[in-house]
Amino acid sequence: MRVYLDNAATTPLDPEVFEAMKPFLLEDFGNPSSTHSHGRKVRAAIESARKKIAELLNCTPGEIIFTSGGTEADNAIIRSAVETYSIQHAISSPIEHHAVTHTLNLLEKQGALKVSHVQLTSSGDVDLNHLEDLLKAHPNALVSLMHANNEIGNLLDIEAVGALCEKYKAYFHSDTVQTIGHYRHDLKKLKVHGMAAAAHKFHGPKGVGFMYIHKDKKIHPFMQGGAQERNLRGGTENVSGIMGLAKALEICYQHLDEHRTLIEGLKKRMIKKLNDTMPGVSFHGNSGNLETSLYTVLNVSLPESEENEMLLFNLDLAGISASGGSACSSGATTGSHVLGALYPSSKRGAVRFSFSKYNTPEEVDYVVDKLAEIYKVSV
């Protein structure tokens, strides 16, 4: 059996999404910036996709800017917000995605701003009292905190953070790459100024995403060279990718409750089977709590063992694809910066399993059985 449980890294393309993309790969190939009929047809399709996404998120079409993915969106929002509003201080956390932490670290190194890290609880939640203290000391700051952590699944109280940012006139950016397509976002109510999304996290194509930029908090262009995307992102649009993104998000919203119930059931099943099977097992962050973590992510903490070093390799040999952390760090020689920040002295093993609508209970059972074999546990 081959089992794919690394959906937080990327998801398989939905066949309906592929069908929506095909005409713009084979037939409707015009440049959307061209004024002739070929270009106008493609331009109309892009704007229709933008309108669909805006309807699903309850915002205006002009607030949706297409990008190459989540990393570009995070970079663009942070860098451009700092420049546009002459922001001198940023507030973030040590467990953000590297698209955020590396960008902020570089800006600080260049002398563009100072960065403060909000305190976290032992399980990785943002300390809202400390966040307010930082905002009191640094009003008009940039706050960059992700909606859900890609490694341990912790969910941010994004409404509470948005209210604090409004109170202290901060620019609020949130990396929502793990939650777009998996949760409903009402952007008319949510007090966030910039958000990032990547289509391949919700069964769309790779290489395309978008940023939401609140109409009252517009930013300077991040990429030069053309007037595309409301003059904010030069370069010919990835037309087939945009079509796939819009279709994937539409499918997600049509079946969100159904798929959430299915995936939560798989996660709950794995938690129970691991607790019943693996002595000393626990779960990193809040990932073992169905109420306070992403329903798609379970980060398993395994007791100290000589098997931990080769765990992902042995799972791969058994036909199981999982992760030790963020896929964007898969080539790194160092461990997860998230787990390192929360458990600096831990020698326990770690594996992140992440689920999608295509996984089955039989796959969950197989994975737990193989883990028991690797750790020589009698089932």
Which pair of tokens denotes residue 49? 């996709």
Residue with tokens 């607030």: 63
Q: Where are the alpha helices (DSSP H) in the chain?
A: 15-21, 23-26, 37-57, 70-84, 98-109, 128-137, 158-167, 228-231, 239-254, 256-277, 311-317, 337-342, 361-374
CA 327, CA 10: separation in Å to the nearest integer? 9
Give the contacts of 90 (CB within 8 A, at least 6 positions apart).
78, 82, 104, 107, 108, 113, 114, 115, 116, 141, 142, 143, 144
Give the contacts of 26 (CB within 8 A, at least 6 positions apart).
none
Catalytic residue among 59, 165, 252, 328: 328
Give the contacts of 155 (CB within 8 A, at least 6 positions apart).
147, 148, 179, 286, 292, 293, 294
Q: Closest Cα partner for 352 from 379, 312, 316, 317?
A: 312
Burial 45-57 (b: 16+ CB within 10 A, else e): bbeebbebbbebb
328 is catalytic: yes
Residue type, 111: G
- How far is CA 251 from each of CA 114, 153, 248, 357, rounded to the nearest angstrom? 41, 23, 5, 12
Look at residue 69 and give its three-state secondary structure.
coil
CA 233, CA 235: separation in Å to the nearest integer? 7
3-class secondary structure per residue, 328-366: HHCCCCCCCHHHHHHCCCCCCEEEEEECCCCCCHHHHHH
Give the contacts of 216 (CB within 8 A, at least 6 positions apart).
none
Burial 328-346 (b: 16+ CB within 10 A, else e): ebeeeeeebbbbeebbeee
Catalytic residues: 328
